[in-house]
Amino acid sequence: MSRFIVPPYLLAHLAEAESPRLHRAPRAARNGLLAMEAVDRNATPPVTRGVLGGGSVLERTVFDAEGTEELPGVRVRGEGEPATDDVAATEAYDALGATYALFDEVYGRSSIDGAGLPLDATVHYGVDYDNAFWNGERMVFGDGDGEVFQRFTASVSVIGHELTHGVTQYTANLTYQGQSGALNESVSDVFGALVEQHLFSQTVEQATWLIGEGLFTPEVQGRALRSMRSPGTAYDDDVLGKDPQPGHMDDYVETDDDNGGVHLNSGIPNRAFFLVAEALGGTAWDRAGRIWYDTLTGGSLSTEATFAQFAAATVLAATARYGADSDEARATSAGWAGVGVIPAP
């Protein structure tokens, strides 16, 4: 199954929108929903729990679909080659590098599979395509409809998010349904945010904690797709409606849509991570990020982990690395308590 940055409920809302400022966006959203099904049918099957380590170097290749939905498209730039005048291709190339840099320099991981997997991306996918996705082997970016969404390469956090689905695919392989699916989405938001923060050398206090900042056109009343600091506040627009993400278990959404609300309930573990990072201060990719990375790659996490089980695993990871009486272990426990999640025994 492919992993999309724009959730289906947002596209469904846009598909039914009626506004004098919209001409292409509703049709683009309807086409995007249909395209999700086609992309899923052709997605590369997940690879479970890959190897760790490796010493390969960064290898990026960017392709251009030229407005079609045929992959991979025409090759436009390889590793070390000069930039073209295509902004989207340059943004994709640079953000692939930024994602590789976080995992390599901070966590000692060679690419998303831990063994130097080449990073491929395709830009200019489809016409007015309102999404970006990881299909199991490559990143794919649409250019947006120009009325609600702009090009999807404009946000580093989006690219980091989607590539982290690949990291999860090769490690914990969290099932994309219910709470484990929401954790899958949250882990991608966590490391998508950390890719951006690492690239721009931002501290916890300096970071925006927004996922998808820069995707909306100026006409939209909203800053991003999601806020990790304050889930439910990323947008409030007459066309898109209000950001529906909960940030506490008291507001957990029970639904059969969106694979059991994976893009909705991910707001709860997202805020838990933010609270841990805020309590520890400094740069979030260091201690808080390392705890989450250890949890993801430790090998003991169930593929169908619940929030409570994941919380317990992060407390154990913090304890193993920093000690039971450490600030890190206490901050991790407090972070989950702050969103109403009690770690499982």
Q: What whole-number distance in Å separates Cα of residue 31 and Cα of residue 25?
A: 10
Given the residues 124, 161, 198, 263, the one annotated as active site: 263
Residue 248 among the catalytic residues:
no
Is residue 328 among the annotated active site residues? no
- Show Cβ contacts of residue 21 under 8 Å, excluding neighbours closer than 6 positions: 147, 219, 239
Q: How far apart are CA 21 and CA 282, in angstroms?
A: 43
- Measure the N-to-C terminal CA separation of the chain; round to a whole number of Å: 31
Question: 16, exposed or middle or buried, with CB in 10 Å at 0-12, 13-18, 19+?
Answer: exposed
Among the residues of the chain, which ranges form H helices?
8-15, 25-41, 87-101, 107, 156-170, 178-199, 258-265, 267-280, 287-297, 307-322, 327-337
Candidate list 162, 196, 278, 328, residue with the active-site label: 162
Q: What are phi and psi of 3, to 5 degrees?
A: -115, 120
Name the pairing type of β-strands 60-64 and 119-123.
parallel
Catalytic residue numbers? 162, 263
